[in-house]
Amino acid sequence: MMPRRISVRTVFAMALLAASGLLALSAGSAQALLMDARRMAMGGVHAPGPGHLVADNPAYAAVPARPSDWGGSIPLPLGLFTLFHDTQELNPDDDAFDPVRLANLISNPPLHLELRKPDPLDGDVTIDVGQEHLRVYWEDAHLILPQDPVDTGTRLDQYSVGLGGPVGETGRWRLQVNPYLDLRLETALDDAFYGLLAGGDSLKPSSRYAMDGDMAAAGGLAWKLLWARRVNREAAPRDVYIGVAPKLLTGFGMAVGDIDVAVLTGDSLFASETLDVEQLSHLRSGAGFAPGVALDLGVLLRQGPWDLGVGVRDIAGSMRFGDTTLEQQELVTDDVTGDSETVTTTLAEGESYTYHLDALWTFSAAYAEGPMLLLGEWRVRPWANSLHLGGEYRVGDWALRAGTSRDARSQWQFSTGVGRQLGGVSLDLALETHSRYIQDERGLALGFSLSL
């Protein structure tokens, strides 16, 4: 068996599209889909209120509400109007189809109105051919291809339904269920491949250009019993609250895989019009009822206008799938006929597999005194850490807001906004910079929402 042979043009197209798609996923923020304008204006920070920080720190369930605590909010998806206006660019059969814009819609869902969009990728393509020398350089490739390894993920599990009530004078309980999705993705181009695709390096004889990736995904339901209370029996200048939330997990499906791709050149670049491509991938998948457990813990200190909290989600979280299949796929070419095909080999069937959830930490601080509210949050995730800072100052029926954040791309973003109280409803407006595009460029978004 020999590696599958494909054209030079196909190799470049495959590499560019694959890397762009992976970066689109890494740049995307699932939480941005449901972010209201008040939080958006304050650097994306969560604030005390119904369900806001309780998901990250169960101790907040027992903390008395302050006048500044948030209620529910309804984002107004004004960005959808621009989506409906430019449908031609999203139709692959239309001459105006723009695959980069489609990737940006995945990484930056059009909930908010985008005021500043990235420049179009219309850079020149240079083709330089010489004796044992081939260079194909697109000057915009570095804007969408990551030079450093990409490590990204998300945990969607913060929206629940349930019931609860008081426990004694200072405690609360809640029984709830929520869907969850856990996703991890890691991918990397080696230095030679990145230099070839985005650095303007030449294709060299007898060389190897490689990329690899790992992914893990699982989804299901989480059944949580939350209990929280104040530790000190009597109210004091310094109150301490704790929260415990054991969870029973029900997994419905999982997939864990890896892929290695390599492009190899022969002794002469022009002996034929082909390159050798090797691909080897493994995928373990399973479906059905998968029981599991996890634990959320939290502690909070309240002293006067200050709140300081630490919460951790999914301690020792795992699910055991009883029937999984492990498959291997390899691209091969028949030595006799020259036909290429993907060969799938089942390496194992009916094996049990334990899927592990990473613990997620959240450190929060809040200061609420009179019309002023200051918030800070440090989210520690295995794939990336992020810092969020924000403030709000109320003047009559108006609220002035500003914030900043350091996102998963290690870039500082800035935001501001206003709110206007109209009876029992607040109309909120926010401006924020962001880096959710697949291009390494800063965007500017305008958001609206109604807060209760």
| 127 confidence band (pLDDT: 50, 70, 90) | confident
CA distances from 176 to 70, 227, 289, 356 (A): 21, 12, 19, 22
Residue with the two structure tokens 């050798």: 276
Residue-range definition of the domain harbouring residue 50: 4-451
pLDDT at 95: 64
Comparing CA positions, the residue from 418, 367, 415 lying closest to residue 388 is: 415
Q: Which residues have CB under 8 Å from 404's CB, separation 6+? A: 43, 389, 390, 412, 413, 414, 415
Amino acid at position 281, single letter: S
| 22 confidence band (pLDDT: 50, 70, 90) | very low
pLDDT at 411: 87
For 137-143, the CB contacts below 8 A with 24+ separation are: 137/200, 138/16, 138/198, 141/16, 141/197, 141/198, 142/198, 142/199, 142/440, 143/118, 143/439, 143/440, 143/441
| Chain mean pLDDT for the chain | 83
Q: Contact at 8 Å (CB) between 137 and 125?
A: yes
Distance of alpha carbon 216 from the chain centroid:
13
Structure tokens at 30: 């699932």
Determine the Cα–Cα distance for residues 190 and 412; give it in Å rounded to an integer.
Answer: 28
**DSSP class per residue in 100-163:** HHHHHHHHS-TTSEEEE-PPP----EEEEEETTEEEEEETTGGGTS-SSPEEEEEEE----EEE
Digit-coded pLDDT (tens) for 257-316: 999 999 888 777 766 556 778 889 999 999 989 999 999 999 999 999 999 999 999 999
**Vertex 155: Cα angle to 211 and 283 (nearest 5):** 40
**DSSP class per residue in 231-284:** SSSS--SEEEEEEEEEEEEEEEEEEEEEEEEEEE--S-TTSSSEEEEEEEEEEE
Residue with the two structure tokens 């920080």: 53
Determine the Cα–Cα distance for residues 57 and 230; give it in Å rounded to an integer.
Answer: 14
Largest Cα–Cα distance of the chain, in whole Å?
Answer: 85
If one counts the domains in the chain, the total is: 1
The lowest-confidence range among 28-42, 329-343, 370-384 is 28-42
Q: Which residues have CB under 8 Å from 302's CB, separation 6+? A: 63, 238, 239, 240, 241
- What does the buried/exposed string (b/e) look like for 279-305 if buried means 16 or more CB atoms within 10 Å of the residue's CB? bebbbbbbeeebebebbbbbbbbbeee
The lowest-confidence range among 134-143, 245-254, 317-326 is 134-143
| 419 confidence band (pLDDT: 50, 70, 90) | very high
Residue with the two structure tokens 């001459």: 95
DSSP helix/strand/coil, 76: strand
Which residues are bridge partners to 421 per DSSP?
426
pLDDT at 27: 37
Provide mean pLDDT across the span 53-68. Answer: 88
Q: Cβ of 375: how many Cβ atoms within 10 Å? A: 25
CA distances from 413 to 389, 405, 406 (A): 10, 5, 6
| 10 confidence band (pLDDT: 50, 70, 90) | very low
Q: Contact at 8 Å (CB) between 211 and 188?
A: yes
Digit-coded pLDDT (tens) for 233-264: 887 889 999 999 999 999 999 999 999 999 88
Top-confidence residue, 70 or 298:
298
- Give helix 191-198 / helix 8-27 axis angle, nearest 10°: 100
Provide mean pLDDT across the span 25-35. Answer: 50
**DSSP class per residue in 205-221:** TT-EEEEEEEEEEEEEE
pTM of the model: 0.83
Comparing CA positions, the residue from 176, 134, 155 lying closest to residue 380 is: 155
H-helix or E-strand containing 320? strand 306-333
pLDDT at 431: 96
Determine the Cα–Cα distance for residues 386 and 27; give it in Å rounded to an integer.
Answer: 13
The lowest-confidence range among 70-84, 121-135, 415-429 is 121-135
Determine the Cα–Cα distance for residues 54 and 313; give it in Å rounded to an integer.
Answer: 11
Provide mean pLDDT across the span 154-182. Answer: 90
